[in-house]
Structure 1
């Protein structure tokens, strides 16, 4: 007897399952899972890691492994065997270990390559569409006639007016590239002359430059970047579909 899934009047069988997967856009997620299964196949977990992962899982699911009858009911409800459940419980740990094993040694170089984009800035901005007004506001700010924040609240024509022109902290990839370039070469407190950015003329002041650090959170983020790049490239190059789309 061939396996099937009945949902109301809809019956999913081995013959039509590919059509369902394609229609529901589930082929790529399935391919991703298969690729990850292959990647972590040789990764081992220690007894301590296994025990901790199981404890977290059972607490999250509100299950007690010492109550095998209830656990079996849960497994049947979710169409899982005990072995499949164990694989799911350890999957997250194995993925993290795979990332570290695969890209950990190149992380320092990748960090240095990305560092300038990861640095953060806090800056103030006044923008207007009027070049003459921008020049006047620049001179008033430089001469200290009014505080930069007050000028921004009164004259800036963007949402930053509500914060006295203050923006950030944000990574240097967030502002317009020209704004980022100017901020990178300025000193805190320095008011930069008006420059045109698209339809706007902007006046900038760097408030604070925050250098990125390769701490634990940054390591995790960069490992995820390298991992996701690899995963997307693998899906693009190694996943092949042999399926004739009905006309």
Structure 2
């Protein structure tokens, strides 16, 4: 039912927003760009590609135009809200880079932490134990957004500075020693802009569906 309502709303919105109309010239250029980007310029290669998806050219063209219309609708819905939404979401999108070693016991973790605080370098430490996580590399690195950081680490990282060694933490049946390598503020680049635009569009669509449910 949700999919049916969503499709109905999207169809109405695309049809009612006259400024979403795509000229034939624009459509043809987008089609050329698509075939060029996907190495489908050769007619035989393109036909083989269509056949691999069980599509005729007419069906492909209709779907292509529909997707273009949806993208334009998404851009219109999100454009005016994007910067404000980014600022709202930014605290959870900022990233922290951690290097870490996983060990089996708390004593091993404390010993590693002590060596690091005495000036040892995490990548140069001998392997404390052969675990699945560190069998290939004794020190690994991960970049996490704040919303991805495990809850047990949040307060520790909040109080830390670059280069600090965190207290050993128990996660997923292992002990971990983390070092804070870098704090990276989120930037509204193309990839993040696409992600946030999709979120705004989904929120808008869910609000439309909810309003329709109320009136049914």
Q: Normalising by structure 1, what TM-score?
A: 0.64
Question: Which of structures 1 and 2 has the larger relative contact order (alpha carbons within 8 angstroms, sep 6+)?
Answer: 2
How far, CA to CA, are the matches of 2:94 and 2:32 in structure 1? 38
Q: Deviations over 1:122-167 (max 9, x none)?
A: 21123445333322221112113x4323447324756145332323
**1:183-202 equivalent positions in 2, closer than 5 A:** 183-197=157-171, 199-202=173-176
Measure, in 1, the Cα distance between the counterparts of 2:11 and 2:170: 51
Structure 1 distance, partners of 2:11, 2:196, is: 22
Partner residue in 1 for 2:14 = 40
1:229 aligns with 2:195: no
How far is 1:48 from its partner? 4.6
Among 19, 24, 27, which residue is 1:50 paired with?
A: 27
Q: Which residue of 2 aligns with 1:17?
A: none
**Please, what is the CA RMSD of the aligned residues?**
3.7
**Do the aligned partners of residues 196 and 168 (structure 1) sit closer, same or farther apart at CA in structure 2, a change above 3 Å counting?**
closer
Could you say what secondary structure the match of 2:136 adopts?
A: helix
Q: 1:150 to 1:29 in 2, by over 3 A?
A: same
Aligned counterparts of 1:175 and 1:165: Cα–Cα separation in 2: 18
Would the aligned equivalents of 2:103 and 2:128 in 1 still touch at CA under 8 Å?
no
In structure 2, do the counterparts of structure 1 residues 105 and 153 end up closer, same or farther at CA, with 3 Å as the change threshold? farther
Q: Tell me, in whole angstroms, the C-alpha distance in 1 between the residues paired with 2:70 and 2:190.
A: 17
Number of aligned residue pairs: give it: 202
How far apart are residue 46 of structure 1 and its match? 4.5
1:223 Cα deviation after fit: 0.2
* 1:216 aligned partner: 190
Match of 1:172 among 125, 143, 146: 146
Q: Distance in 2 between matches of 1:87 and 1:239?
A: 29
Evaluate the alpha carbon distance shift between residue 194 and residue 116 of structure 1 in structure 2; reply closer, same or farther with a 3 A threshold: same
* Runs of 5+ consecutive residues of structure 2 not aligned to the other structure: none
State the match for 2:99 in structure 1: 124
For structure 1, the residue ranges without an aligned partner over 5 or more in a row are: 1-26, 65-69, 243-247
Q: Distance in 2 between matches of 1:198 and 1:169?
A: 18
Give the structure-2-normalised TM-score: 0.71
